[in-house]
Structure 1
Amino acid sequence: MIFKEIRYILFLAIILCTAKASAQYNDSTFYHISFAPMGSINKANGNTAYLLNNNLKFNIRKKDISLNFTNTWIYGRQNVGLTNNDYSSFIDFNLYKGPEHFYYWGLLNYNTSYSLKINNQLLSGAGIAYSIIDKPTAYFNVSDGILYDTSDLLLAGNNVTYHTYRNSFRLAIKFNINNVVTVESNTFLQNSLDRGYDYIIRSTNGLSFKLRSWLSISSSLNYNRQNRTGSENLLFTYGMNFEKYF
């Protein structure tokens, strides 16, 4: 499994590095692709634990609209036991129309997670966002909207299918220091509108140091809680981020 991951990493790194990369979006740069293979391995006294966290993003940005596609796969084992086999796929768009600093968003999100006891989950919805700060070096954004959640969960050893509407609140922060150090955070709180105990928390936090225009050293701290199943995870991984603007 680990050697297969290494082959994927090397293959995608070659693809991302074969052309000249731009530092950011501009009048002639509309696309961005990045691949971040990260993980952690601990082996001591005959015990082995490892965690692989792979993130692939593709973004399109035009004047009035952006489209973002993200796939994340987390796989972990401790000795011979499986701890994580979690996959998430996002596709979302932002429509920059209307009052200044406001924009409209919509998303479709599929999840399956061994650690959070999610067999299948599909979230779809829309809302509005406001950028309190929107500069190349600093970004502070809040958003809110309504999601429709249809899920198949593992509860007390049984598969349970249900659906609910959720309020989805997000806080997004990003700082760029001298185009070298980037700190970013995205946190979601998604409460069911008809079940007070049913909420989802997702928090993704990253720190990266740019070595080249296409290469960064990255670390990630992620927290997830699916309160209906009583499951949560806290994941810390580190690795590389390969990216290219074109």
Structure 2
Amino acid sequence: MKKWILVLIIVFNCVIMKAQYNDSTFYHVALTATGSLNETSTGNAYLLNNGLNFGIKKKDIVLNSATNWLYGKQNSLLSNNDFSSTLNFNLYKSLPHFYYWGLLNYATSYSLKINHQVQAGLGIAYNIIDKENFYVNISDGVVYDTSNLLSDTKYDTYRNSLRLQYRIKIKELILFEGSNFIQNSFAKGDDYIIRSTNKLGIQLKKWISLTTSLNYNRMNITRSENLNLTYGITLDKYF
């Protein structure tokens, strides 16, 4: 079942990438390639973090897809092999600055001890600040989580999913943005997930920037976490 969900996400990504242009539809593509390397007399480590985002905005709906792969080794031993792919939509059909959202997410993570994880959910969101160069958003909702952990433990739970998202742009030169989640299980108080991604970009041209990314993830049920600082480039295009 989980393999079919992953196939669905990949196929859907391919479909929206082939969408045709028209006067009332807007597109966004962002490709990020970052990494880090550390080599000393006693050992070495490297980390690669690559992501592809694609979005479509048409009238009252926004559709986004995001795929990310984090891979790394330390002293020739695997430290990270983490993949995630997400589809989400925003529906603007009510009060100003307020919208409904839905998502479907697939993930597998060596560092967080996850064989497979599938999440699907719905919720609401509100733009606290909604300006061109300053954006702050808070959202909340319920997601269904079915997971297969590296310990061969299989479980299902419903989670409350709370997110804080922001984007600050200074003089078309500096961009600071972040997306921070906490997902608590309704069944167990010590079963929670934290996902935090914060990026600092310095724009070289309209479509290319130097990027530093700080990512933190914790899966408390497996007592595992990772913290990664990477740097590289982002290619970003609206059309």
Specify which structure has the bigger relative contact order, considering alpha-carbon pairs within 8 angstroms and separated by 6 or more residues: 1
Query: How much does 1:244 deviate?
Result: 1.7
TM-score with structure 1 length normalisation? 0.86
Aligned to 1:193: 186
Structure 1: segments with no counterpart, 5+ residues: 1-26
Alignment-mate amino acid for residue 77 of structure 2: G
Over 2 Å off, 4+ runs: none
Measured in 2, the distance between the counterparts of 1:41 and 1:28 equals 44
TM-score with structure 2 length normalisation? 0.89
Measured in 2, the distance between the counterparts of 1:199 and 1:161 equals 16
Deviations 1:119-150 (A, max 9, x none): 00000000000111001110011000000000
Aligned to 1:4: none
Query: How much does 1:63 deviate?
Result: 2.2
Alignment of 1:79-228 (within 5 A): 79-154=75-150, 158-228=151-221
- CA RMSD after TM alignment: 1.1
SS in 2 for 1:33: strand
Q: Is 1:231 equivalent to 2:218 in the alignment?
A: no
Q: Between the two proteins, what is the percent identity of the paired residues?
A: 57
Measured in 2, the distance between the counterparts of 1:103 and 1:244 equals 25
Measured in 2, the distance between the counterparts of 1:243 and 1:87 equals 21
Measured in 2, the distance between the counterparts of 1:170 and 1:143 equals 5
Alignment of 1:56-67 (within 5 A): 56-67=52-63
Deviations 1:224-245 (A, max 9, x none): 0000000000000000001222
Kept after mapping to 2: 8 A contact 1:144/1:168: yes
Alignment-mate amino acid for residue 68 of structure 2: T
Alignment-mate amino acid for residue 73 of structure 1: W
Structure 2: segments with no counterpart, 5+ residues: 1-22
Alignment-mate amino acid for residue 227 of structure 2: L
Q: Which of 32, 36, 40 matches 2:36?
A: 40
Measured in 1, the distance between the counterparts of 2:59 and 2:133 equals 20
Q: Which of 39, 42, 46 matches 1:50?
A: 46
